[in-house]
Amino acid sequence: MTHAPSLHSRAQRVLAGETIAAARLIRDVDDRREAARADLRELFPHVGKAHIIGVTGSPGVGKSSLVDALITEWRARGKTVAVVAVDPSSPFTGGAILGDRIRMQTHSLDPGVFIRSVASRGFLGGLSPSIDEIVLVFDAMGFDVILVETVGVGQGEVDIIRSSHTTLVVLSPNSGDDVQGLKAGLLEVADIFVVNKADLPGADRTRTMLKRMVNLGQGALRDPGWAIPTRSTSTTQGTPEERGIAALVDACVEHRDHLRGGPGLAERNASRLRSYVLRLAGEGLAGRLEKALLAHPDLAELERGETDPYAVANALIGTVTHEDL
């Protein structure tokens, strides 16, 4: 039988589970190519099944190692898993850190696992703006679990973390994340605390301090109806019980069930949609503003000092908001 891809849109091939089509779409998404837009629109009605889990924490605490271990555990439970890892990459090369790709290659022959690293584009601790679109592609492909690994700093990143269903905030005993000095922001985004490197000295102390902090939550908690659990893990040493990976997956499942049993799931999905729309609208407007400014008659006046930036900005907004996005 001959292959007739022209009969099918790329989106349809992605929906049919063709990983090559998915990989190309994700590349176009990451390069912010216009071609991706039609595919994403076609995929949109097919999302909503996945459990989206953010894994965040300082560099070196063991997020990638943990993601690797979580993939193995979820696969053992018969779930398919997709991962998007944001690497704090050099703004000069824009490339993702090779180590993550190599480490996760253990899963590269497993069709139930799909892993992509994207560069963070160099804005401070920043998040590639394409993350939510890559999550959309994974979700439409039907993956049961989607893990998003990010370094937990920067506003753009916090927005994405907020729109995960479940956020794991990962610490390690020696990561310099003094728990008492832990940013209040982390308490606001955490659904589950993970003390990784439990094999190292000081892990128990970190865990105790985290628990105390959760108990003193003082209204900063993301979800007052959910008691944030703290789990200890080791990706390198110990018996399966000591490594704690199964217990961590159990906690993720409990949290998902908690969200499903109340308004939490709908709220988080709505929050993700809002930030998605805002980003799209913002990008669309920014492009138009830039174009309109270059052609704007007031620009010459501004350069001659005959008007001021505020007046031109107002006039410019007036110009572009009369156009459709």
Question: Is residue 234 at the binding interface for ligand GDP, with CB under 6 A as the rule?
Answer: yes
Cα maximum dimension of the chain: 75
Contacts of 290 (CB under 8 A, 6+ apart): none
User: Nearer Cβ to ligand GDP, position 60 or 91?
Assistant: 60
Q: Which does 59 bind (CB under 5 to 8 A by kind): Mg ion, ligand GDP, none?
A: ligand GDP
**Among 65, 130, 150, 166, contact with ligand GDP (rule: CB under 6 A):** 65
**Among 64, 163, 230, 233, contact with Mg ion (rule: CB under 5 A):** 64
User: Nearer Cβ to ligand GDP, position 199 or 301?
Assistant: 199
How far, in Å, CA of 264 to CA of 257, rounded?
Answer: 10
Region from 127-135, 229-237, 299-307, 310-318 binding ligand GDP, contact rule CB under 6 A: 229-237
User: Nearer Cβ to Mg ion, position 61 or 190?
Assistant: 61
How far, in Å, CA of 76 to CA of 113, rounded?
Answer: 12
CA dist list (Å): 73 to 16, 132, 192, 202:
26, 24, 17, 26
Question: Is residue 163 at the binding interface for Mg ion, with CB under 5 A as the rule?
Answer: no
**Residue 214 burial by Cβ neighbours in a 10 Å radius (0-12, 13-18, 19+):** middle
Region from 22-30, 57-65, 104-112, 302-310 binding ligand GDP, contact rule CB under 6 A: 57-65
User: Nearer Cβ to Mg ion, position 64 or 163?
Assistant: 64
Q: Which does 200 bind (CB under 5 to 8 A by kind): Mg ion, ligand GDP, none?
A: ligand GDP
- Report which residue type is found at 202: G
Region from 25-33, 63-71, 207-215, 275-283 binding ligand GDP, contact rule CB under 6 A: 63-71
Taking CB under 6 A as the criterion, which residues in 195-224 touch ligand GDP?
196-197, 199-200
Residue 238: CB minimum distance to ligand GDP, A? 9
Q: Which does 10 bind (CB under 5 to 8 A by kind): ligand GDP, Mg ion, none?
A: none
Q: How far apart are the first and last CA of the chain?
A: 43
Contacts of 38 (CB under 8 A, 6+ apart): 9, 11
Residue 68: CB minimum distance to ligand GDP, A? 8
How far, in Å, CA of 306 to CA of 308, rounded?
Answer: 7
Report the SS3 class of residue 145. strand
Q: Residue 103 in contact with residue 66, Cβ under 8 Å?
A: no
Binding site for ligand GDP (CB under 6 A): 57, 59-65, 196-197, 199-200, 234-236
